[in-house]
Structure 1
Amino acid sequence: MSSIPKTGDFLGHPKGLFLLFGTEMWERFGYYGMRAILVLYLVAMVQDGGFGWSNADALSLYGTFTMAVYITPLFGGWLADNVLGQRKAIIIGGLLMAAGHFTMGIPHSALAGQEVNVFYLGLVLLCLGNGLFKPNISTMVGDLYQEGDQRRDGAFTIFYMGINLGGALGPLVAGAVAASLGWQYGFVAAGIGMVLSVLLQLALSNKYLGDIGVVPAATLAQQRSNSDTKEPLTKVEMDRIKVIFTMSVFSIIFWMGFEQAGGLMNLFANDYTNRVLMGFEIPASWFQSLNSLFIIIFAPMVAIVWLKLDKREPNSPVKFAIALVFLALGFLTMVLALATQGQGEQLQISMMWLVLFYLFHTLGELCLSPIGLSMVSKLAPLRLASLLMGIWFLCTAIANKIAGFVGSYLGEGEEALGNAMGIFIGLGATALISAVAMYLLSDRLVIWMHGAEGQAPIKTEEQILNEELKVTASR
């Protein structure tokens, strides 16, 4: 068992928690900062430092990249558990991601016609690094606390606030740097955040984390059981697995629409939105901060709503349906924006429409993502828990690729507005139909849960808030 260092507490928690808070905050700063300018960089004209790609090509690549971001943790988690240990995986992953950011930040003038190849190298490094970093740092938060320590829920609340803070600051800083100095400098700014994350771990982990995450988990678990016998799945377990698969499939619909944020909606903010406020033109990438900011603001409110509803709180499948309704409302907002403000290549809609769009989608995320993570953990048979959590993330990966494919039909110029209207209507209608289907299936799914739904101990407001804030752990 890992030893927990005796370095004293800060705000009632081990100081190691705040080291992990800072490590994750700066990593998310780098990732979301890079993601916010990625598509805009690809479609920017060559003379402006971009690649001059079409919207379709840029969105297709964006979908492939974000799909890989959710697939590589399956391999990175295995390496950490069986070979590297979590600490080494985080350091190596952080260095690979920093190298990816800085590789993408090399000026085109220094690349002698190899700009595209070097760019792809940067994306590969980011994907590999993310695979090693993403699945391991959250686990180390729990390892800071002894079994049964009631502070653990509060610790994750603090930790996930760090994720949101990084997710909010990254697009603001990288977007501002890219807008004022050039795209490559924006990627460098993201890389600096990643370097700070690694430096924190290298400088302070031995003092504040002790030997947590040093030894691979498989090695630690070897003595727990000497039995190689594999019991067959019971009917209850099979029914619960059916629930996980069903809700995972429905999650693809949600994330397919939600993940238009970094692609299609990023381009829409750049090309068809009036971003001038009091004489200052807001960079399009800044809108990517809205989701994290709204989570910080509204997660406590959603937690309070669930707490106040008490026994009337909707079950998990109904919350999924509510999330899909919010997703549909977001796209309805954009349909109204285009319908009420006319057409034409020079169309500039009010930025308030985008703010509403991101608000509705964040509310949907707060209804779905923490519920999904909790659902897998409480329904999956212990011997299949990691595999089934991998299935959940695999569905998210598939959704990201589909999102890029759907967004690639945006097109160019005036044609893009008509295509955008069609995409918004199609995604909104799909979300609404899926919400109805999920609601109709909800009773059957609860039956298949065999008591796992609705019989848990009464939760405190802090515990519910912690679940709401876990949304960004899956992003």
Structure 2
Amino acid sequence: MKATTASDTIPPLDSPGDQNRQPPALFLLFFVEMWERMSYYGMRALLVLYMTAATTAGGFGWEKSEALSLYGWYTGLVYLTPLFGGWMADRFLGLRKSVTLGATIMMLGHISMAFPGLGAFYLGLGCLILGNGFFKPAMGQLVGSLFKEGDRRRDGAYTIFYVGVNTGAFIAPFVSGTLGEKLGFHWGFGAAAVGMFIGQILFIFVGPRLLGDIGIKPAATIKKETKDLEVSHGALSWIEKDRLKVIFSLMIFVVVFWTAFEQAGGLMTLYTDEKVNREVFGFLIPTTWFQSLNPIYIMTLGPLFAWFWTRLALKGRDPSAPEKFGWALLLMGIGFLFMVFAAQESAALGKASIHWILLSYFFQTCGELCISPVGLSMVNKLTPSRFGTIMMGIWYLSFACANKLSGVVGSYAEKLGETQLFGAISITAASCGLILLLFIAKPLKAKMHGVH
């Protein structure tokens, strides 16, 4: 019997309706990522609240600055370990084993956090950090592996995949967040473990049928078997070097974007909890539910962005990745401008109106859709295939720096005041966006040598 290969899962470009059809395996990865993100964001929605809650309420009673600092370390390390995990996947494990190993370790981490005590807490965080290192770069590379070089559907596929990420993020606060706030934090952490388990059941039992041989063998083994030694071990060509320079240059701007964006899980969560009027028609909205705003917008706008990018690409008018990154930063700046208005209102009246939070998350999400799925697709296209997964891990280094910086930046709110801090974030993001669009995007596009 013939083994299923990548070409069997990819609708050929010359088939009817080829411009819009996506590989069936993409939707498997969509649901696996959805459940994994449900577990991650469920835990994240509770993390800062858990650390700052009084011991009588089941928390640790930490100061806000302490909680935000640990939050920054945790979310930073979550994006640092993909460098090691990507190398392991490329050299020894293969993408599929890397996903399963990472998911299993993360599930154990969530289970550990379902138990009280600092020891279980730190053990759980450690498992989540390590497991994510194996899982995250392999999943990103698996999506790209579904397509042949030059396939125009790739950007749209990454956007669809990103909707899966945010579908899980949408479910998380309503499940883990509500359980954590109403029944106890450890119930919420336990629910996150269940989400991780469901995702892996799907991957293990449905994956072989839809993925075939994709991702089973490590990239190093495949190159060795094909005896493509020149490609495997040869020096980088000047075109490859130029394309890698584009990736590393844009990582600087990615750090700025995600430093601002990740305030959502730390500073903005605490601000919403204390200084936003959360009562609507007599119902007090739980703080963790606001973590669902971003994924609601993603699920609503994501398909529109995917369609929009695809239509522009077919007409030859699709903005380059550097241009999209510039727009992302401008939109982030607008999003935090609304937080400045919120801070001014809460300073004057005691509480800020909920509509400022809704508007801020809306513009932040539009920016996210211009940078996150586009960035994953760009790295996949610009990186030489012989070290694709490890390069995905290097890309996540920018996320690691940003997440650590987000905790540092957020901790200054008590010293500077929310108005000044939100204003500084807004100005920094918008300024970087303008610099990228006006002075840097065009030279970087030239160094991409035809890759869009």
Q: Secondary structure at the match of 1:349?
A: coil
1:436 shift after superposition: 2.8
Q: Following the alignment from structure 1 to structure 2, what is the Cα–Cα distance between the partners of residues 420 and 357? A: 14
Matches within 5 A, 1:243-282: 243-282=246-285
* Residues 1:434 and 2:432 aligned together: yes
Task: Give 1:296's aligned amino acid.
Answer: M
Aligned partner of 1:184 among 182, 186, 189: 186
Find the counterpart in structure 1 of residue 35 from structure 2.
26
Q: Following the alignment from structure 2 to structure 1, what is the Cα–Cα distance between the partners of residues 189 and 21? A: 37
Q: Following the alignment from structure 2 to structure 1, what is the Cα–Cα distance between the partners of residues 375 and 246? A: 11
Q: Following the alignment from structure 2 to structure 1, what is the Cα–Cα distance between the partners of residues 70 and 428? A: 24
Matches within 5 A, 1:234-245: 234=238, 236-245=239-248
Q: Secondary structure at the match of 1:50?
A: coil
* Residues 1:402 and 2:405 aligned together: yes
Q: Is the 8 A contact 1:23 1:200 kept in 2?
A: yes
Task: Give 1:434's aligned amino acid.
Answer: C
Find the counterpart in structure 2 of residue 49 from structure 1.
58
Find the counterpart in structure 2 of residue 326 from structure 1.
331
Q: Is the 8 A contact 2:94 2:219 kept in 1?
A: yes
* Residues 1:362 and 2:365 aligned together: yes
Q: Is the 8 A contact 1:240 1:448 kept in 2?
A: no
Q: Following the alignment from structure 2 to structure 1, what is the Cα–Cα distance between the partners of residues 24 and 240? A: 40
Find the counterpart in structure 1 of residue 234 from structure 2.
230
Q: Following the alignment from structure 1 to structure 2, what is the Cα–Cα distance between the partners of residues 178 and 364? A: 30
Task: Give 2:339's aligned amino acid.
Answer: M
Q: Is the 8 A contact 1:379 1:452 kept in 2?
A: no
1:431 shift after superposition: 1.4
Find the counterpart in structure 2 of residue 213 from structure 1.
215
- Relative distance call for 1:2 and 1:428 in structure 2 (3 A) is farther
5+ residue gaps in structure 1?
Answer: 109-114, 457-475
Find the counterpart in structure 1 of residue 86 from structure 2.
77
- Relative distance call for 1:226 and 1:341 in structure 2 (3 A) is closer
Q: Deviations over 1:101-145 (max 9, x none)?
A: 111111x3xxxxxx2122110000111111122222344445567
Q: Secondary structure at the match of 2:347?
A: coil
- Relative distance call for 1:247 and 1:136 in structure 2 (3 A) is closer
Aligned partner of 2:104 among 90, 95, 100: 95
Q: Following the alignment from structure 1 to structure 2, what is the Cα–Cα distance between the partners of residues 140 and 444? A: 30
Q: Deviations over 1:261-290 (max 9, x none)?
A: 111111111111111122221111111111
- Per the normalisation by structure 1, the TM-score is 0.82
Q: Is the 8 A contact 1:317 1:445 kept in 2?
A: no
Q: Secondary structure at the match of 2:450?
A: coil
- Relative distance call for 1:445 and 1:423 in structure 2 (3 A) is same
Aligned partner of 2:347 among 342, 364, 375: 342
Query: Percent same amino acid among aligned pairs?
Result: 44
- Relative distance call for 1:302 and 1:249 in structure 2 (3 A) is same
Find the counterpart in structure 2 of residue 128 from structure 1.
130
Task: Give 2:41's aligned amino acid.
Answer: Y
- Relative distance call for 1:301 and 1:102 in structure 2 (3 A) is same
Q: Is the 8 A contact 1:19 1:204 kept in 2?
A: yes
- Relative distance call for 1:444 and 1:24 in structure 2 (3 A) is closer
- Per the normalisation by structure 2, the TM-score is 0.86
Q: Is the 8 A contact 1:2 1:212 kept in 2?
A: no
| Cα root mean square deviation, aligned | 3.3
Q: Following the alignment from structure 1 to structure 2, what is the Cα–Cα distance between the partners of residues 270 and 188? A: 23
1:239 shift after superposition: 4.3
Q: Deviations over 1:123-175 (max 9, x none)?
A: 00111111122222344445567889888777655544322211111122111
1:232 shift after superposition: 5.6
1:238 shift after superposition: 4.5
- Relative distance call for 1:363 and 1:209 in structure 2 (3 A) is closer
Q: Is the 8 A contact 2:159 2:306 kept in 1?
A: no
Q: Following the alignment from structure 1 to structure 2, what is the Cα–Cα distance between the partners of residues 148 and 382? A: 13
Q: Following the alignment from structure 1 to structure 2, what is the Cα–Cα distance between the partners of residues 36 and 13? A: 32
Between 16-25 and 144-153, report the one with greater CA deviation. 144-153
- Relative distance call for 1:151 and 1:394 in structure 2 (3 A) is closer
Q: Secondary structure at the match of 2:265?
A: coil
Q: Secondary structure at the match of 2:264?
A: coil
- Relative distance call for 1:141 and 1:275 in structure 2 (3 A) is same
Q: Following the alignment from structure 1 to structure 2, what is the Cα–Cα distance between the partners of residues 90 and 168? A: 22
1:98 shift after superposition: 1.2
Q: Is the 8 A contact 2:169 2:295 kept in 1?
A: yes
Q: Is the 8 A contact 1:4 1:144 kept in 2?
A: no
Q: Following the alignment from structure 2 to structure 1, what is the Cα–Cα distance between the partners of residues 292 and 301? A: 14
- Relative distance call for 1:342 and 1:313 in structure 2 (3 A) is same
Q: Is the 8 A contact 2:32 2:203 kept in 1?
A: yes
Between 76-85 and 319-328, report the one with greater CA deviation. 76-85
Aligned residues: 438
Between 381-390 and 72-81, report the one with greater CA deviation. 381-390
* Residues 1:445 and 2:443 aligned together: yes
Q: Following the alignment from structure 1 to structure 2, what is the Cα–Cα distance between the partners of residues 219 and 89? A: 15
Find the counterpart in structure 2 of residue 3 from structure 1.
4
* Residues 1:61 and 2:64 aligned together: no
Task: Give 2:37's aligned amino acid.
Answer: R
Q: Deviations over 1:174-213 (max 9, x none)?
A: 1111121011111111111112122333444445545543
